[in-house]
A = this chain, B = another copy of it.
């Protein structure tokens, strides 16, 4: 047995299975921790792509704070690719979010706007050439409970308005995440990956693989539609101590990707 072959096989595995799907984190997972600890935990589990959360860097931050925080994240070796999820209740929230995204040099804003703000968003994606992805929040969300509802609202807008499918909230809303991803592939900009303990509105977040979401099917679907965005872990159990559950979830998804 030549160990060079094994190394070559490992490198190939890394190139094919691991890097075709880009894994990252939605920093909401670290809601109860400061930014430096959020960065450290992201590094510990070996994730590369980072979506900063307004909790760590508020939308109302001064320009220099935004630039500084973005620099800190990138100097830690992370790809700061998005901000979110950003709550948008008025025009000013939309305008601020795009200015923030420009300063942080991210390509995507994940947002939870009100429906009446969509025309403003449609103007801003053109003005800034920054994409905005509507994040669905499940049955309690009167605006965008599931991806299909969001898609119907945005499909006639600029193609830079799209979706961040949260697969937990999607299934809580009675929609199979794999079907949603395939159906709305043309507007799928970001994914929040997770698992939930029951497939109803009452579903709560849990370690990937311990719940009811068919993650092998979902990841096969992402490969099938040649999804080129980030798959970001949003881990919402044990939020005071998320590292172990996040690590287990990351391992689970990597294991599936190594096997499919």
Chain A residues with a Cβ under 8 A of chain B: 1, 3, 6-7, 9-10, 13, 44-46, 171, 174-176, 198-200, 207-212, 214-216, 243-245, 247-260
B259 and A209 contacting across the interface, CB-CB below 8 Å = no
Residues of B within 8 A of A200 (CB): 3
Q: Is the interface of A mostly helix, strand, loop or mixed?
A: helix
B3 and A198 contacting across the interface, CB-CB below 8 Å = yes
Give the CA-CA distance A215 to B255 in the complex, in Å.
9
B256 and A174 contacting across the interface, CB-CB below 8 Å = no
Give the CA-CA distance A258 to B218 in the complex, in Å.
12
Residues of B within 8 A of A46 (CB): 207, 210, 248
A14 to chain B, nearest CB (A): 9
Residues of B within 8 A of A210 (CB): 46
What copy number does this chain have within its complex? 2
Question: What 18 new A-B contacts, CB under 8 Å, besides A251-B251, A252-B252?
Answer: A1-B174, A1-B175, A1-B176, A6-B171, A6-B212, A6-B214, A7-B199, A7-B212, A209-B251, A216-B258, A216-B259, A247-B248, A247-B251, A251-B253, A252-B255, A252-B258, A253-B255, A259-B259
Partner of A199, one of B3, B245, B250, B255: B3
